[in-house]
Amino acid sequence: DDVEALQTQGYATIVCNRPDGEDFGQPTAASVATACEELNMAFHNLPVDRAGITAEMVERFRKIVAESNGPVLAYCHSGHRSSVLWQASGSP
């Protein structure tokens, strides 16, 4: 299981920046959240759609990273939206 592998690598928090249904065959945010809950990991659903990234999303992302008990993994289809959020939030 991917979430278990991420926990083994030391991640404490997962942030989903991909809207459900964006890619065929990809897990839903709810299924990833369930896997995280079973492993006592934090999960946040912060999907970025065609409307783009808002200031509120950047602030929420910043708070998620700041309040995490360990490393954070954020993901989307290509990693671009997650990278932009990370950079815009000023997170280390």
Q: What is the CATH number of domain 2-89?
A: 3.90.190.10
Find where tokens 């990370």 sit: 86
CA–CA gap between residue 66 and residue 61 (Å, rounded): 9
CA-based nearest residue to 12, from 89, 87, 67: 67
Distance of CA 79 to the CA centre of its chain: 10
- pLDDT tens string, the chain, 92 residues long: the values are 799 999 999 999 999 999 999 989 999 999 999 999 999 999 999 999 988 999 999 999 999 999 999 999 999 999 999 999 999 999 88
Task: Report residue 16 as tokens.
Answer: 């989903």
Query: Would you list the domain boundaries of the chain?
Result: 2-89
The pTM of the full predicted model, rounded to 2 decimals, is: 0.94
H or E element in which residue 74 lies: strand 72-75
Q: Provide the pairing of β-strand 42-45 with 72-75.
A: unpaired
